[in-house]
Amino acid sequence: MAKTLCQPDKRNLEHGIDLDTLKDLLSQVPVSNKVPARTRELLDFAKQICLYGYYEYEFYSLCAAYLFLLTETAIRDRFIGGLPDKCHLIRGKESLIVNRNYDIVMQRLWEGWVLVGFEEVNSSIWSILKWLKKNGVLPERIGKKEIELIRQLRNDTIHLRSVDVYAPTLIIPVLWKITDLLNCLYDPSVHDRDKEPKILKQQKESQKQMSQWLDRMIKGLKGKDKDKDEGQKEKK
């Protein structure tokens, strides 16, 4: 039987979520004015998707997928924005100079070119995150756990290996963590801010779910890497 449009999804009641509560929680997720306008607009759109979860519960999962795709683009944007106006790339004996441009630089990295002065960076989001962390663009409180989580969830979103239904009490902390990371990319003044804002400290169950979720995703990452290594050994 088809569901009536704009009728609240009853699963929200299990978490004590009504529309006003959800709006209030989303309004408490802070975005720095130093984050580029385009990224702020995309984050606002993610909040709108989340808000529709009040009517269709699966929209919380759609919000999560959108958030991680947005994060990938924002991280690459931040890295490329810090490059010289003219970027020197090499590939074997070949050498070329290109303008600092997202599409041009990323296309060259995907083709196997190497950025001179940034040799440890390739086209993967993982290498860029490691570089940003190593060079102080991301603060200490953005730890290895969060970085590995972003990488794994990004991969799961792209390949759609599984479908998880996120609860509103989980997606709000996820939204805050992603927003906090994006704030840190562009606004050093937030680097020393307390790791968790008041909104999360007031939601003990959300913290517990987030911790369990982080642990589960990291274990999944390690398990997949192990399977990959074993598969490579078998081929040899």
pLDDT value of position 203: 47
Report, as ranges of residue numbers, the positions in the chain whose pLDDT lies below 50.
1, 195, 197, 199, 202-207, 221, 224-225, 228
Both 17 and 61 in one domain: the answer is yes
Please indicate, yes or no, if residue 3 is contained in any of the structural domains.
no
> Is residue 36 a part of any domain in this protein?
yes
- Give the span between the Cα atoms of 157 and 68, in whole angstroms: 8
Do 128 and 31 have their domain in common?
A: yes
pLDDT of residue 230: 54
- pLDDT for the residue numbered 231: 55
Which residues lie closer than 8 Å to 46 by C-beta, 6 or more apart? 63, 66, 67, 70, 175
For 193, the domain range is 11-83+124-226
103 with 65, same domain: the answer is no
For 167-178, what is each residue's pLDDT tens digit?
888 788 888 888
One domain, residues 143 and 216: yes
Q: Is residue 178 a part of any domain in this protein? A: yes
- Residues 168 and 92 both lie in one domain: no
Q: Are residues 153 and 214 in the same domain?
A: yes
Pairing label, strands 86-91, 94-99: antiparallel
Per-residue confidence (pLDDT) for residue 90, from 0 to 100? 95
Residue type, 37: A
**Is 95 found in the same domain as 74?**
no
162 and 139 share one domain = yes
pLDDT at site 111: 95
The separation between CA 191 and the C-alpha centre of its own chain, rounded to angstroms, equals 17
Q: Could you tell me if 57 and 93 lie in one domain?
A: no
The answer to whether 10 touches 165, Cβ cutoff 8 Å, is no
The answer to whether the CB of 178 falls within 8 A of the CB of 71 is yes
Q: Give a yes or no: residue 236 inside a domain.
A: no
Residues for the chain: how many in total? 236
Indicate if 136 and 32 belong to the same structural domain: yes
Q: What is the pLDDT of residue 155?
A: 67
Same domain for 91 and 25?
no
Tokens of 84: 């010289």
